[in-house]
Structure 1
Amino acid sequence: MSASYCFEGRVVLVTGASSGIGAETAIHFAAASCDGLALIGRDKDRLEEVSIKCQTQGLAIEKILIISEDLASDGAPGRIMDAVIQKFGKLNILINNAGQGGMTSLADPELSQKFDHLYSLNVRATLLLSQLAVPHLIETKGNIVTVSSICAKAAVPNMLVYNLTKAALDYFTESAARCLATKQVRVNSVNPGSIATPLHTRAGREEKVVRELARRIHPLGRIGESEEVSRAILFLASDHASFTTGETLSVDGGRFLLCP
């Protein structure tokens, strides 16, 4: 699956690993011979399923750590990082994938509550987990890859708060990259367009409607697949991207080429 990449001797932490892009990314790292893989998510049963798929790619069960946590809950980033270091003794790669979408506008009567929830998960949790990872990444000269969105580059109607949180993640990537470059720690992000993941249905949109809309708004004429994003993540996390930092890489079927 990931024969062109090799992550031997490297420990990888993937948040939001129970489904979609996170699950696919974890499976790809397993296939690329990583030395340790921490799977973070809220649904333990689904994490177990992803773990089994990672094992079918050749990763031994003792090299997999499952942590069932809500990243937005108090103290979760600290508990996660402590568990990873206790298990593996180091961290080489942090994949900040956990996040949530949702429809919001300035007319939304629940705007304040939705902002607090999405900001806490999409931005604050990413920031705090990355902060805790930095000392370990400096030791290993590792890197961070964050899953942002094309919404950070071109605002999507009726997704006000989601747009804001993803724009914040892009600025986090650029700012952290500048801060950590002298420490030889790279920081990059991927910016997917519409991808076929459970995120859409959880946000209240029908899959058929999402796919039809994706066909019309992406120049390539279709929705993207999780595997297409995970390949970009592995590239940025690998030595193939050793001279790349501060990049926000669009994986969007050309969507950003169109006028918002």
Structure 2
Amino acid sequence: MSLKYDFNGKVALITGSSSGIGAATAILFAKSGANVVVTGRNADAVAKVAKQCTDVSPKQLTALEVVADLTNEEDCNRLIETTVQTFGKIDVLVNNAGTGIMALIDDTNYMKQFSLALKTNLNSVVYMTHKCVPHLAKTRGNIINISSIASKRSLYGLSPYCMSKAGVDMFTKCMAAELGPQRIRVNAILPGTVATNFMDVFELPIEMVDKTYETVGQKYPVGRVGQSQDIANTVAYLASDTVAGFITGSIVVTDGGHLAANVSYE
């Protein structure tokens, strides 16, 4: 029996929802009755996911498409304003937009890469939260931040990424405490290896990527790497006031046992 959520009447804004975890999350919210905002930098990808959301919506609700770059504050403002103008409110903010940044400390472009990692993975989370709080306070809504197990362990050549995600974890806990009096819940999810387009940043042949997923998956206690739907399911759980109304400030590890088993990528 599959678990079904009821988000009828709710408005869910999912950043970075034109692919991967964000897309799966948007589609699940739409399937559960929510009005969904699909956003990303590629208009065609945004449109494709928005159509999928509308197709699975029980009432055929039209998903809102907003092309935006979350490292740009003007785009963030436009995203939020368009959402409120269209739906009148925001109930759930999923801060999912992010990127993998690989750089060694002695690389000549390290500081540039470090800055990009912070802007994309941390600053966008902080800014979207900052601007959405007035709207979430009205709905007693909640925020789910997509972090990573990289916030809990070092990964060679990925220090900018690891640091940005560690910042997301601490921001989540701080906001849970600070926004509690306004009845806004704030939680974070730490995915392990998930088969998405995240590996594109390494510019590896598809055969090598598939082999990496296979090798890592064999090391996981559950016997496979994650799928976007695995993380989307956790987002929906945390977003539901009915089943998770007493959960806030939690860092929810959803990694197939990666951390528990001390899985190595070597």
SS at match of 1:145: strand
Which range moved further: 141-150 or 109-118? 109-118
One-letter code of the match for 1:109? T
Equivalence for 1:58: 57
Per the alignment, residue 112 of structure 1 pairs with: 111
How far apart in 2 are the matches of 1:130 and 1:103?
Answer: 26
Distance 1:138 1:47 in 2: 28
The answer for the alignment partner of 1:251 in structure 2 is 254
Report deviation, 1:153.
Answer: 1.2
- The question of whether the paired residues in 1 share the 8 Å contact of 2:36 and 2:53 is answered with no
Aligned match of 1:90: 89
CA shift for structure 1 position 154: 1.6
Per the alignment, in what secondary structure is the counterpart of residue 75 of structure 1? helix
Where 1:158 maps in the other structure, the secondary structure is coil
Aligned partner of 2:13: which letter?
A: L
Determine the C-alpha separation between the residues in 1 that align with 2:2 and 2:159: 36
Structure 1 residue 105, shift from structure 2 partner: 2.1
SS of 1:156's equivalent in the other structure is coil
1:165-180 alignment to 2 at 5 Å? 165-180=164-179
State the aligned residue count.
259
Cα distance in 2 between the residues matched to 1:218 and 1:31: 30
5+ long unaligned stretches in structure 2: none
Identity rate, percent: 34
Question: Residues 184-223 of structure 1: matches in 2 within 5 Å?
Answer: 184-205=183-204, 206-215=208-217, 217-223=219-225
1:226 partner amino acid: S
The residue identity in structure 1 corresponding to 2:184 is V
Q: Cα offset for 1:224?
A: 0.7
TM-score (norm 2): 0.92
Give the corresponding residue for 1:45: 44
Measured after TM superposition, the shift of residue 216 of structure 1 is 5.0
Aligned to 1:224: 226
Structure 1 residues 7-86: aligned runs within 5 Å: 7-34=7-34, 36-58=35-57, 63-86=62-85
Instruction: Check conservation: 2:148, 2:165, Cα contact below 8 A.
Output: yes
The one-character-per-residue Cα deviations of 1:146-174 (angstroms, maximum 9, x if unpaired) are 10000011222221100000000000110
Provide the C-alpha distance between the structure 2 equivalents of 1:156 and 1:127, rounded to a whole number of angstroms.
24
Are 1:10 and 1:92, in contact at CA under 8 Å, matched by a contact in 2? yes
SS at 2:176 equivalent = helix
Structure 1 length as normaliser, TM-score? Answer: 0.94
